[in-house]
Amino acid sequence: MVKRKTGGLFGLAVGLMQLFSENKGNFTKLIGTLGLYFQIRDDYANLMLKEYTDNKSFAEDLTEGKFSFPIIHAIQQHPEDPRIMNITQYV
């Protein structure tokens, strides 16, 4: 989930730029890393920044039934925590 959300847009941008460039290098790893960073930052901002919540909504991935990075990380770090399991029931 985390890798596929934004990485595809970075891949599209690089692919379009390469159409008009002599550089046909393989940027797959860089694109993947940038996409992962951007998505984790976006997921974090959605939970922590008031400005973000004002423009979108709070925890919108949860309300859309998506397992974003913070949820995946919480499950991996604290699999027995009943609060996390209660949250995931609604996802």
**For the segment 76-85, what is each residue's pLDDT rounded down to a tens digit?**
999 888 888 7
Task: Report pLDDT digits (tens) over 23-40.
Answer: 999 999 999 899 889 888
Domain that holds residue 48: 2-88
- In percent, the amount of the chain with pLDDT more than 90 equals 24
What integer is the mean pLDDT of 44-60? 78
The total of structural domains in the chain comes to 1
pTM for the whole structure: 0.66
**pLDDT the model gives residue 5:** 64
**pLDDT the model gives residue 14:** 92
Distances (CA, A) of 45 to 15, 21, 52, 65: 28, 35, 6, 18
At 27, phi and psi to the nearest 5? -105, 20
Q: How far is it, in rounded angstroms, from Cα 51 to Cα 1?
A: 24
